[in-house]
Structure 1
Amino acid sequence: MDKKDDNTMPRDWRFWCIILSLAICMLLTAIEFTAVGTALPVIVQDLKGDKFVWVGSAYTLGSTALIPFCGGLAQIFGRRIVLLSAIALFCVGSALCGAATSMNFLIGGRTVQGLGAGATTALIQIIIADLVPLKERGSFNGVMALAWGIGGGSGPVIGGSLAERGHWRWLFYLNIPISCLAAFFVTIFLRLKKPNTPLHEKLKHMDWIGNSIIVASTTSVVIGLTWAGIQFSWSSAQVLAPLILGILGLVGFLVYEARFTEFPIVPISLLSSRTAFSGYAQNFLNGIVLSTLAYWLSVYFQACKDAGPTAAGVDGFGLSYTISPTCLLSGLVVQKTLRYRQPMWFGWILMIVGCALLGTLDENSSRSMCYGFQALVGVGMGIIYVTAYFPVLAPVPVSQSAPALAFFTFLRNFALIWGVTIGGTVLQNQLVHRLPSTFLALFPGGTQIAFEVIPSIKTLPQPLKDQVRHAFAGSLRVLWNVLAGISGLGLLTSLAMKHLPLHTSVDENWGREDMKEKESENVGVAA
């Protein structure tokens, strides 16, 4: 018997301190992911670089590529040591970003940051699964999403205000004390069970070949997406070759996991159910919409509304501060009703309508309209963000929760890459055709350099200023309509789900270390 009913797991002060430590970690990663977008124009201008898309892509690449590997490490060495290592890696990456003297330096630091952030988010979900059964997990997922929402909402304002004052480096340096606080809480309170097998036996369970395949394939896809339409055309060999090789590599990875390895990173059983497959697909599509809006919405306010970085962050509150409370409410609804399909259908409908309405905005639209449209999308995304766990985990035994959640987080972060890079590609390709030729002539390097002028649009002479604002608004309208189409695909995918009961137990091989000690004491008393 490897499972036990969670009713024996007390929700005492130690338990809530663990939840608090995980929430701080989630807050840390959320601030970092969302803060850079509003500060990016100033950063690009200051470092005199033209590879702005890679600032986001490098972070999301790092936060995705090693997630399956980190999930395997957590199974072998235990949760706490892997989480502490991830926080330390994130801290080092933040220091490197703050000290950056060039765009390439910054991109390298962002990659290191991403490695730490991706492992952190995966471990948070795995640890919650160790402590709370799926039937009761809605509210706890909601708490983590609330922490993410607080960080995601404050991040753009923090990044924008520091950038406006010429102190964008402190956007990264501030992560260091927060990382230390997170590490302190994790060290003190996160005392979990860990396997006692010898090290050489642990290493035998690592799928080194599978990890190498997925890292190489993910990197190849990101390179293709980042170059597409910006450095090279979509039809060029420089774009098609890494994209095709990367996608074939991901397919090959799944084949290898299914047939050729004794200890797979992603057991094929995780994808054998149409309900689980639908959940993974919806998680991926929601991640694309979320990252695109989180990263590129501020461009609308800065380029079309003369907003500074700080004001652009505040203008995004309509999105960020509807996602987080909706996440918590949705988790409670699923926990109370034990139904996840109906909320997800409703969420996709709201996202379709909200993105389509964003697609009607131009440079002269009122801010209040944009706030309202953001709120519709935010409510829909909040619902999907929390409820997508249930169709993924309901079909698999609790012993498979860790690999299932690692793959779930991998797909969510992989979607962030697609959102940031596709958003940048759509925007830049549209600007090529929409910006006035007299304006483009000032930037022979292409529209990557034109992005640098966003902070200066308000100072352009008329009628050039209105022409540039109109070009940005029209380009963003295309992007929002693309997101409406992606949301529609999410709704279609959700129709494949079945209603399945939610687990009421957790895997007894994991969980709190002090509970193991109490169990031993109880056995001794009984004897």
Structure 2
Amino acid sequence: MVKQTEAPISIDVAEESNPSTPVISVTEKPGTNRIFLSLAVASLTSALDLSAISNALPVIVNDLHGSQFVWVGSAYTLSSTAFLPMSGGLAQAFGRRPVILFSLLIFGIGSAMCGAAPSMNFLIAARTLQGVGGGGILSLTSIIISDLVPLQERGLYQGLIGFSWALATATGPLIGGALAQRGVWRWLFYLNLFTTTLAAICMLVLLRLKNPAGTIREKLARMDWIGNVIVIAASSSLLIALTWGGVQYPWSSPRVLAPLVLGVAGFGAFVYYEAKHAKHPLVPISLMSNRTTVSGYIQTFIMSIIMLAISYYLPVFYQACQGASPIATGVDAFGMAFTVAPVGIIVGASVAASKRYRPQLWIGWCFLLVGTGLLTLLEVDSARGMSIGFQAVSGVGLGLLLTTTFFPVLAPLPVSANAHAVAFLIFMRTFGQVWGVAVGATVLQNQLVKRLPEEFTAAFPQGVEIAYASVAVLGILPQPLQGEVRVAFANSLRVIWQVMIGMAGVGLGVSLTMKHVELRSTTDQEWDLDEKRAGADEERAALPLPVAVA
């Protein structure tokens, strides 16, 4: 019977792997072609939706007569974040392929509901369901890569998967803008049905992985249900507070303070329960027992804040400050989109060749620090080439960081900890994305309230999130009012970039705490390809004991 790796609460980070868990050496290559085709399509499906929505959002808000623009993005990231830790536990109990297929199904249902949304509230609810599936897709994609590719080689493959993500990032705003400009934004969500179906077919036909033994009841018993309930409730409560605070209600409002306090207390309760009582911990506390892994998690969180703040609020700059159409905005965003992917592949290859990752991370933070600084120079009349060039600098930094933040997290840990460690890594990434959207929304809303002319803000009801609502009417404003509003947007967005400079500085400081840890050349064969496992079993039958390659 397959040994369950989530049962021990403690993980010895000094061991190469669990001695009772078979491993496979780097010389035994997995069947990468079909595997990474499947994973690339799944990654593209999730990323395309996330990147396209920001560019189409002003049109969607105007069409549905809504005002709470921030919830269209936050509802997705809230649900995906809250359910991410559960995806790792489900993958460990039921196997990788069933969970990623179920995630694709949920994502597809949510997409269909988004496309048919008759109101803003319905759209937000549908985005919540869609986020559950999207989070599972992200988590399982990374877990499967970690199962099949040794850490020494993972940089290259992670870069290749990142290419599909970057392709979606580059084309998503263009697709979203084109559909929004033609008044058919609903097809932005209906197109997900095609990509979701394609990804599911690829998974069914090409991705054949081992599933753990046991009955349904035995598998359900392996889940940390209490821990899941606590973390979902705590995440949801905290993220609601972050979304409302300073935008819809003052930070001192009971409507913000109550969920904020409950969320923080909930996370405290979660840590206590996982450390003291959980039989099958959702997040083994010993994952945090070394400073290199902790540094990697914090860097992932900070990098995600900056990445989402840039990708979410740069379209606002182009549309509100420079009067660009949604299609033109998608083209203008190419500066960052087309640098992230090539840099990610190159840096992944460099990690595979050099077996080192710290220099790449340090360089990435320096690029991101400079890139966010350059964004503060953007004005209403800034040249198009200047804005695209400034994006490219940030794109280089993000490309370096996206591919390499996995290594400090996983290098000190045994391969048997992959599922939980990777699921928590993706949790930190999406949690950071929520902060990126929420912090940016808070800054933008508060700055606009101060800077916009009173004669303009008087046209909006009290408490309305005016950032996206006002973009739709900018083009019909008379001069000089239109110019004043555009300048107010540029100055307000500059404050967001200044906040991101500070975040990048913190990220660079945290990266200096990492130790160099050798990258492993083994994988956990319990989660290998089905046919590959059979062949390796025959080889092991001739040996007295399984052999781990150091």
Q: How do residues 161-200 of structure 1 correspond to structure 2 at under 5 angstroms?
A: 161-200=178-217
Alignment partner of 1:506: what SS?
strand
C-alpha distance in structure 2 between counterparts of 1:472 and 1:159, whole Å: 22
Question: How far is 1:322 from its partner?
Answer: 0.8
Change (3 A) 1:54 1:21: same
Q: How do residues 27-176 of structure 1 correspond to structure 2 at under 5 angstroms?
A: 27-176=44-193
| 8 Å Cα contact 1:192-1:513 kept in structure 2 | yes
The reply to whether residue 426 of structure 1 matches residue 425 of structure 2 is no
Q: Show CA shifts across 1:217-276 (max 9, x none).
A: 110111111111122101212112211221221122122211111110111111110000
Q: How do residues 435-454 of structure 1 correspond to structure 2 at under 5 angstroms?
A: 435-449=452-466, 451-454=468-471
Q: Show CA shifts across 1:154-187 (max 9, x none).
A: 1000000000000000000000011000000000
C-alpha distance in structure 1 between counterparts of 2:301 and 2:470, whole Å: 33
Q: How do residues 78-477 of structure 1 correspond to structure 2 at under 5 angstroms?
A: 78-449=95-466, 451-477=468-494
Matched to 1:410, the amino acid is: F
Alignment partner of 1:66: what SS?
helix
Bigger helix share = 1
The reply to whether residue 23 of structure 1 matches residue 40 of structure 2 is yes
| 8 Å Cα contact 2:301-2:429 kept in structure 1 | yes
Alignment partner of 2:465: what SS?
helix
C-alpha distance in structure 2 between counterparts of 1:507 and 1:23, whole Å: 22
| 8 Å Cα contact 1:440-1:446 kept in structure 2 | no
The count of residues paired between Structure 1 and Structure 2 equals 525
Specify the alignment match of 1:3 in structure 2.
22
Question: How far is 1:201 from its partner?
Answer: 2.1
C-alpha distance in structure 2 between counterparts of 1:338 and 1:294, whole Å: 31
Question: How far is 1:366 from its partner?
Answer: 1.3
Alignment partner of 1:174: what SS?
helix
Structure 2: runs of 5+ lacking an equivalent: 1-19, 545-550
C-alpha distance in structure 1 between counterparts of 2:342 and 2:392, whole Å: 11
Question: How far is 1:523 from its partner?
Answer: 6.9
Change (3 A) 1:228 1:523: closer
C-alpha distance in structure 2 between counterparts of 1:281 and 1:372, whole Å: 28
Question: How far is 1:5 from its partner?
Answer: 3.0
C-alpha distance in structure 2 between counterparts of 1:47 and 1:511, whole Å: 47
Matched to 1:493, the amino acid is: V
Question: How far is 1:500 from its partner?
Answer: 0.4
C-alpha distance in structure 2 between counterparts of 1:375 and 1:10, whole Å: 35
Question: How far is 1:301 from its partner?
Answer: 0.2
Question: How far is 1:71 from its partner?
Answer: 0.8
C-alpha distance in structure 2 between counterparts of 1:28 and 1:189, whole Å: 17
Specify the alignment match of 1:492 in structure 2.
509
Structure 1 length normalisation: TM-score? 0.97
Match 1:510 to one of 527, 544, 549:
527
Q: Show CA shifts across 1:64-102 (max 9, x none).
A: 111111111110111101000000000000000000000
Question: How far is 1:526 from its partner?
Answer: 10
C-alpha distance in structure 2 between counterparts of 1:230 and 1:294, whole Å: 19
C-alpha distance in structure 2 between counterparts of 1:523 and 1:228, whole Å: 58
Question: Which piece of structure 1 moves more, 445-454 or 57-66?
Answer: 445-454
Alignment partner of 2:213: what SS?
coil
| 8 Å Cα contact 2:84-2:427 kept in structure 1 | yes
CA-based RMSD of the aligned residues comes to 1.5
| 8 Å Cα contact 1:308-1:455 kept in structure 2 | no
Matched to 1:426, the amino acid is: V
| 8 Å Cα contact 1:69-1:265 kept in structure 2 | yes
C-alpha distance in structure 2 between counterparts of 1:30 and 1:405, whole Å: 18
| 8 Å Cα contact 2:445-2:467 kept in structure 1 | no
C-alpha distance in structure 2 between counterparts of 1:342 and 1:309, whole Å: 38
| 8 Å Cα contact 2:448-2:467 kept in structure 1 | no
C-alpha distance in structure 1 between counterparts of 2:431 and 2:171, whole Å: 24
Question: How far is 1:444 from its partner?
Answer: 2.3
Question: How far is 1:323 from its partner?
Answer: 1.0
Question: How far is 1:213 from its partner?
Answer: 0.7
Alignment partner of 2:363: what SS?
helix
| 8 Å Cα contact 2:379-2:490 kept in structure 1 | yes
C-alpha distance in structure 2 between counterparts of 1:252 and 1:345, whole Å: 35
Change (3 A) 1:520 1:351: closer
Matched to 1:3, the amino acid is: P
| 8 Å Cα contact 1:440-1:447 kept in structure 2 | no
| 8 Å Cα contact 1:443-1:450 kept in structure 2 | no
Question: Which piece of structure 1 moves more, 332-341 or 167-176?
Answer: 332-341
The reply to whether residue 480 of structure 1 matches residue 472 of structure 2 is no
Question: How far is 1:446 from its partner?
Answer: 4.1
Matched to 1:118, the amino acid is: G
Q: Show CA shifts across 1:417-444 (max 9, x none).
A: 1111111111111000000000011112
| 8 Å Cα contact 2:57-2:468 kept in structure 1 | no
| 8 Å Cα contact 2:151-2:407 kept in structure 1 | yes
Question: How far is 1:525 from its partner?
Answer: 9.5
| 8 Å Cα contact 1:3-1:505 kept in structure 2 | no
Question: How far is 1:360 from its partner?
Answer: 1.7
C-alpha distance in structure 2 between counterparts of 1:106 and 1:79, whole Å: 30
C-alpha distance in structure 1 between counterparts of 2:387 and 2:50, whole Å: 22
Alignment partner of 1:167: what SS?
coil
Question: How far is 1:408 from its partner?
Answer: 0.2
C-alpha distance in structure 2 between counterparts of 1:516 and 1:444, whole Å: 63
| 8 Å Cα contact 1:431-1:447 kept in structure 2 | no
Matched to 1:148, the amino acid is: W
